[in-house]
Amino acid sequence: MMKEIIADTLYVQLEEKLDKSQIEQLIEIPPDEQMGDFAFPCFSLARIYKKNPAEIAGQLSETLKLPDLFEKVIPVSGYLNFFLNKRILAKQVLGVCQSDTYGSKNLKKNIVVEFASPNTNKPLHLGHLRNISIGESISRLFSFCGNKVNRTSINNDRGVHICKSMLAYDLLSEGKTPENTGKKSDHFVGDYYVLFSKKASEDESWNEKAQEMLRKWETADEHTVRLWKTMNKWALEGFAQTYRLFGIGFDKEYFESDIYKSGKEIVNEGLEKKVFYKRDDGAVVVNLEHQKLGNKVLLRPDGTSVYIVQDLYLAVLKDREFNYDKSIYVVGNEQEYHFAVLIAIFKLLGYPVANKMKHLSYGMVELPEGKMKSREGTVVDADDLIEETKRLASEELKQRYELSENDLEERSLKIALSAIKYQLLKIDISKNMLFDPKKAISFEGDTGPYLLYSYARASSILRKTESKKDAVFSDLNIHETRLVRKISFFPDTITSAFERLSPSVIANYAFDLAQIFNEFYHACKVIGSDSEGFRIELVKGFRSVLKKCLWLLGIEEIEEM
RNA sequence: GCCCCUGUAGCUCAGUUGGAUAGAGCAACUGCCUUCUAAGCAGUGGGCCACAGGUUCGAAUCCUGUCAGGGGUACCA
């Protein structure tokens, strides 16, 4: 926005030697605020004009016609440093930043975001929470940018791993149910998955029995199907509770059991088009050597299909149902090969979905003691984590305030969720992250509760003033200036987060913003000060922008801590 | 073996896609609550940006190699 204005003025002055977007890309923000608000490095012009950068900067600073928004421009060692007129900036920024559309876009695309996608043999864990947090945040980001968003999940509800918990339950449950044991239903199912793993490690025949059960399931054996339905229901009901607790939901949930046989038409089409081939033993294979992806089997010699075939089908099905412009898959980085193959196959087939699909890959969550393994029970369970964090939040609250039972309940949950979500989103999604349950759920410093606290402080000020004083835009002090400047960066932050599909960009911005606000809060009295009118507008602006950030992170704000 | 990702303060992470003196939070130490919420603010210490070359006006950022860690390379899902 501001960069555009600078680019425009420079463009004229530079006799069109560089085009506007080039200029805009070169413009940066100086490392120190005393050096100016924006800077244009003249080094790349040195070659064009055959002069040294300092000289160019010097000349430009003299001839440049500055728009009102800028106070002055100073050449410093090859840079052209621009200083904003803070009074005009404040007036402009505070005039727009409280609007619902501040920072938003109007892209009008139709987007499908697939996330969560659990297996129905065990409860959700920390890895799912990272997935869900990312999926929800990205969905909101798309939505904020003016797109229609459809949230989907594919429940992996069949296969030998599902039969494992079924088998253990079938043989060892002694009539227990979630109801008569009082256990949350997905945890109940998960217990039998762990039990199976224990049994199988002692006795190899359990694995064979699981395979046998899968065969029975596939031939629709009555007992097996009834067992499967019962346990899946338990698992899915449990997930639904966790989703609700976490504040998310889906427009459409798919089930592997509905689609796992589909997709053969696509395979046949590939055979007809000769992009797939039939191996001697009858298996259908696609050669992707040209993309360094090797040979991928699609149909086994017995004619049954491999997992990827149903994903081919699902991509096409979703396209038919949603007519999407873009389909985002929030799936861990261990499946990068899978999605590379998926997209490569669509390219070979000449399907347009090839260009509309995007695997949004994210890194794994590791614990101090290493990788999580659900079979070994070394996972951080999602419900347990939320409960435990909530308990800690509740203790903190009780230490500080007198609250009713209801308020305590509501606030401790919101604070806990803010802590968890922020922790999971502030780290660049492409990176593996370490999650130390003891340290990670802290409420101080760079955390979700810090953001909520800052928000509550701003709300508190606004609650306590009835002032109708007009905002007078006089000279700003350093804290006011910093806050205005940071607020003015919100639209650029959104653009950057959107381009990179990166919630962490928003999280980091929100923290900086809150930090600057807290410094302002500490240094500048609002109510009763000479510039009360202006400062109230500033607090309102801050609160409005922080609220948007929180929303984009899937975090609910609270008016009081 | 081959392919991909990562390596920045004691720990967890930023670093505006090649720019000026590399930044936060935590932890450690020191101050600040008769003042809009101290889950806060201010300050001190802490760095061979894994290592070695290269590209250029300029590199934590790009290229090559080495080392270390993780993932993938299933007729599992």
The residue whose CA lies nearest the C1' of nucleotide B18 is A26
Which residue carries 């046998």 as its tokens?
A212
**pLDDT of amino acid A45:** 86
Q: Could you tell me how far CA A253 lies from the centroid of its own chain?
A: 19
Distance A1 CA to B18 C1' (A): 23
Distance A517 CA to B22 C1' (A): 24
Q: How far apart are CA A332 and CA A274, in angstroms?
A: 32
A519 CA: nearest nucleotide by C1': B41
- Which three-class secondary structure state does DSSP give residue A90? helix
Instruction: Identify whether the C-beta of residue A112 lies closer than 8 Å to the C-beta of residue A462.
Output: no
A468 exposure class (CB count in 10 Å sphere: 0-12, 13-18, 19+): exposed
Distance A421 CA to B2 C1' (A): 38
Q: List for chain A the helix, strand, coil content (%; round to 5).
A: 55, 15, 30
**pLDDT of amino acid A440:** 67
Distance A68 CA to B73 C1' (A): 60
**pLDDT of amino acid A378:** 75
Cα angle for residues A14, A15, A16 (degrees, 5° grid):
90
Distance A292 CA to B2 C1' (A): 10
The residue whose CA lies nearest the C1' of nucleotide B24 is A446
A256 CA: nearest nucleotide by C1': B77
A489 CA: nearest nucleotide by C1': B16
Instruction: Identify whether the C-beta of residue A400 lies closer than 8 Å to the C-beta of residue A449.
Output: no
Nearest to A436 by CA among A367, A503, A339: A367
**What backbone phi and psi angles, to 5 degrees, belong to A426?**
-75, -15
Mean pLDDT for each 10-residue chunk of chain A (561 residues)? Answer: 85 79 88 91 86 88 89 91 94 95 96 96 95 97 98 96 95 94 96 92 91 94 96 98 97 96 94 93 92 91 93 97 97 94 95 95 89 77 94 93 93 96 95 84 92 97 83 90 95 94 97 96 93 94 98 97 92
A41: Cβ–Cβ under 8 A, 6 or more apart, which residues?
A26, A28, A53, A78, A79, A80
The residue whose CA lies nearest the C1' of nucleotide B40 is A518
**pLDDT of amino acid A291:** 85
Distance A431 CA to B65 C1' (A): 24
Distance A126 CA to B51 C1' (A): 35
The residue whose CA lies nearest the C1' of nucleotide B22 is A31
A416 CA: nearest nucleotide by C1': B39
A515: Cβ–Cβ under 8 A, 6 or more apart, which residues?
none
**pLDDT of amino acid A467:** 66
**What backbone phi and psi angles, to 5 degrees, belong to A483?**
-65, -45
Pairing of strands A110-114, A148-155: parallel
Strand partners, A332: A362
**What backbone phi and psi angles, to 5 degrees, belong to A531?**
-100, 40
- Which stretches of A350-447 are DSSP H helices? 382-400, 405-425, 437-440
Structure tokens at A309: 């075939």
A522 CA: nearest nucleotide by C1': B41
- Which three-class secondary structure state does DSSP give residue A453? helix
Residues in chain A: 561
- Which three-class secondary structure state does DSSP give residue A178? helix
Specify the long-range contacts of residues A266-274, CB closer than 8 Å, at least 24 apart.
Answer: A266/A309, A266/A312, A266/A313, A266/A316, A266/A349, A267/A298, A267/A299, A267/A305, A267/A309, A269/A349, A270/A298, A270/A345, A270/A348, A270/A349, A273/A349, A273/A350
Distance A444 CA to B44 C1' (A): 20
Q: How far apart are CA A11 and CA A91, in angstroms?
A: 26
A334 CA: nearest nucleotide by C1': B71
Nucleotides of B under 7 A from a protein CB: 2-6, 11-17, 19-27, 35-42, 57-58, 70-77
Distance A434 CA to B66 C1' (A): 27
**pLDDT of amino acid A524:** 95
Distance A336 CA to B72 C1' (A): 8
- Which three-class secondary structure state does DSSP give residue A315? helix
A157 CA: nearest nucleotide by C1': B77
